[in-house]
Amino acid sequence: MGEFFGTDGIRGRANQYPLTPEMAVRIGRAIGIIFGDANGGPPIIIGRDTRRSGKMLEAAVAAGICSAGTNVLLSRIIPTPGVAFLTRHQGAAAGVVISASHNPYEDNGIKLFNQEGVKLSDREETQIETLIREDASDALKDALGNQVGSIQTMKGSRKKYLSFLLRSIPADFNLNGMKIVLDCSNGAASAIAPNLFDTLGADLTVLSNQPNGTNINYECGSEHPVSLCRKVLEIGADLGLAFDGDGDRLIAVDESGTIITGDQLLAIGARFLYGRGQLWNNVLVSTVMSNIGLKECLQSIGIRHFASDVGDRHVMEKMTDCEAALGGEDSGHIIYRAYHTTGDGLLSALKLVEAMKEEDRSLSAMARFMTVYPQTLINVPVNEKPAIATLAPVTNTIREEEQRLGDRGRVLVRYSGTQQICRVMVEGPTKEAAEQSAQNIAIAIADAIGQ
């Protein structure tokens, strides 16, 4: 991670450094210089989620890109994976998303895709950071007169993305008779997700699809599925599907109101593709945060497992290295590489219901393929982010807890790439053991660097 880029773009409190309009212009200018073409080349596409600050930052980033002589196409409110698709489909120079994903509405961010619809490499991020720090205007020959980029609104952007999603399933596929509850998190999926599942004939109940600029992710969506669980039970639905604010994550709820995690969705997807002979090289990629139970269930049927760093761009890099068709994170970022270049909550939802329909089994029955080890995750607010290895009281506590758990659990401590917190994840033989170890480590971190 650099000065500006975290695990998924640039993120922070909207209208505070580095997400002020002035900085957004500089960031846009740097994007225009790196990816644009001042000689009438392809445009850069910008999409956003439903946050109040989205239009402000969209305008500033667009202005910066135009100042570098590159044209801009605005796709307006659309899920992040929709921008990745449109970038490839339209032959754009790059794609930009104004979103802070699952964060509260006060936050915002800038995510980037290259012309292939893939999130940026470390090298590309470093190039942009260098221009931002040095002020990209110093590297820019003034674009004057008709060399200044123009801004246009793309027509039918959501319709094109919807058509792409429908092409990922058989032409005669339908959800007639399947009762589904959608939670759109008052975010970018609020319009397109109900349209998608209605087109397929599902008996729909839709929650949190009335965005007002300040209710995105508020007690709803993939981060807060409690209301979804209640609604599934209340109406006797077959399943519930929850997206996050920018629509690149999926968390499901089975017919009993039980939350199905991203790791379980990966297990279901891997077995489904494996049975069809479509799991390339019999490999699944997930992150170091994945539950122990995922690797165990894969091994039971001969699927190999590879672990990547946290962040779906790192998952994609590892998938490319080992030629994997499926990969993702327990948070619900899932990449079906035969169809897309990034995590896509709506695509993942389609592949899940396709597997349910083909196997004619309930979601709870399919989820039993993976045994979930008790896991505790504690987010500790911190003032700074020194290397964990330099904090002796913390490393000593981690070592003690690892010895206590032995081969019946594991400990993972890492800083968030998007927030000022340190994540403590512990798996153990029991819920109580995992919670106790996590609490002991969290206390040590709070004592050393806590807010």
Catalytic residues: 101
Q: How far apart are the first and last CA of the chain?
A: 22
Report the sign of the C-alpha dihedral through residues 255, 208, 112, 331, in that order.
negative
Cis peptide preceding 225, ω within 30 of 0: no
Identify which of 315, 420, 317 has the alpha carbon closest to the alpha carbon of residue 11: 420
Distance CA 255, CA 237 (A): 6
E runs forming strands in 186-297: 203-207, 239-243, 250-253, 259-260, 283-287
CB 345 within 8 A of CB 332: yes
3-state helix vs strand vs coil in the chain, percent to 5? 40, 20, 40
- The set of residues, in sequence order, having a beta carbon less than 8 Å from that of 178 and lying 6+ positions away, is 202, 203, 238, 353, 356, 357
DSSP code at position 287? E
Question: Phi, psi at residue 201, to the nearest 5°?
Answer: 90, 15
Cα of 292 vs its chain's centroid, Å: 21
Cβ pair 65, 149 in contact under 8 A: yes
Residue 422 CB neighbour total at 10 angstroms:
25
Residue 22, token pair as written in the block: 């002035």
> In the structure encoding, which two tokens stand for residue 10, read together?
């640039």
Amino acid at 176: N
Tokens representing 408 are 């019946």
What distances in angstroms separate CA 309 from CA 287, 314, 317, one per listed residue? 6, 6, 10
